[in-house]
């Protein structure tokens, strides 16, 4: 039997990068995958690749999120797993960061996680089962230069994860976070080679992570093999936090 056999799994930001790798992994493990993605081209492409359902979604908009949940329920009748993967970066130092740059990152990375989790929590409470997985980051632990908004959002995700694990555990709902380190994605591929090499040297295992490394962590935490794990932040970082 596959790890996620028959489970209905929503993956926000599932069109590319870690979200896409997670969608592929979940489908391989038997899940019915719903790709919640703002970008139609990448969202539809990933959904087609995993024989899943694509729903254009703005996670920072309550009505858009509610529509996502309604379409998922109309199609599959339940929600077993939510992976709050959607996120954006708008980097700048504190004195140069504009208010709208701060607000936009918080809206997507923090408020979006809240809106999606709140929307599925009521469904999962009725089911008496469910898993919510939130994307944090290693910078949520120790900060990072030029990322006031991003770090604030990812630290906030860690806090919300712990609160929800306490609140929802009695209803059979597990809540965990995954904190990736340096992961190869389309975004990081644009960085200068010397910067990539320098950052690789900071990783104890001496390499960047692949999106599949994070997808594997999500898959385990989503599965019944992690049935007694809730309220944790799992670093997938090659030892960077150490």
Task: Band the pLDDT of 242: cuts 50, 70, 90.
Answer: low
In the residue annotation, 218 being an active-site residue is answered as no
Give the three-state DSSP class for 36.
Answer: strand
pLDDT in tens, 191-203: 667 767 777 778 8
Strands (E), 67-164: 81-84, 130-135
24 contacts 215 by C-beta, under 8 angstroms: yes
What integer pLDDT is reported at residue 177 of this predicted model?
98
Contact (CB, 8 A) for 209 and 180:
yes
Q: How many helices (H) and strands (E) does the chain have?
A: 9, 7
Query: Which residues make Cβ contacts (< 8 Å) with residue 35, sequence separation at least 6?
Result: 11, 14, 15, 19, 23, 43, 46, 47, 50, 52, 53, 54, 55
Provide the pLDDT for residue 189: 67
Among residues 114, 142, 150, 218, which one is catalytic?
A: 150
The kind and range of the H/E element at 200 are helix 193-201
pLDDT for residue 191: 63
Class of domain 8-235: alpha beta
Query: Within a 10 A sphere around the Cβ of 48, how many other Cβ atoms?
Result: 11
pLDDT 10s digits, 132-190: 999 999 999 999 889 999 999 999 999 999 999 999 999 999 999 999 998 988 766 66
Q: Does 56 score more than 70 pLDDT?
A: yes
Q: Is the pLDDT of residue 65 over 90?
A: yes
- Per domain, the residue ranges of the chain are 8-235
What pLDDT does 241 receive? Answer: 73
Say yes or no to pLDDT of 41 above 90: yes
130 Rama sector, left if φ>0, alpha if ψ -120 to 50, beta otherwise: left
Cα angle 81, 134, 137 (rounded to 5 degrees) comes to: 150
Mean pLDDT across 92-117: 97
């Amino acid at each position: 039997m596959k790890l996620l056999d028959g489970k209905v799994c929503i993956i926000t930001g599932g069109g590319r990068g870690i979200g896409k790798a997670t969608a592929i992994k979940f489908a391989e493990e038997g899940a019915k995958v719903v790709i919640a993605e703002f970008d139609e081209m990448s969202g539809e492409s990933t959904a087609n690749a995993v024989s899943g359902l694509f729903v254009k979604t703005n996670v920072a908009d309550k009505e858009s999120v509610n529509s996502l949940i309604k379409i998922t329920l109309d199609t599959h009748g339940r929600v077993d797993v939510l992976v709050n993967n959607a996120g954006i970066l708008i980097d700048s130092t504190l004195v140069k960061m504009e208010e709208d740059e701060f607000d936009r990152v918080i809206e997507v990375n923090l408020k979006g996680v809240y809106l999606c989790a709140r929307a599925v929590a009521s469904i999962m409470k009725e089911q008496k089962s469910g898993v919510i997985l939130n994307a944090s980051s290693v910078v949520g632990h120790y900060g990072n230069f030029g990322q006031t908004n991003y770090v604030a959002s990812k630290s906030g995700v860690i806090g919300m994860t712990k609160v929800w694990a306490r609140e929802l555990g009695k209803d059979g709902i597990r809540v965990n976070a995954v904190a990736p380190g340096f992961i190869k994605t389309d975004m990081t591929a644009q960085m200068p080679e010397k910067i990539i090499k320098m950052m690789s040297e900071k990783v104890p295992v001496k390499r960047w992570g692949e999106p599949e490394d994070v997808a594997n962590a999500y898959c385990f935490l989503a599965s019944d093999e992690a049935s007694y794990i809730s309220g944790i932040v799992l670093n997938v970082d090659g030892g960077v936090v150490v």
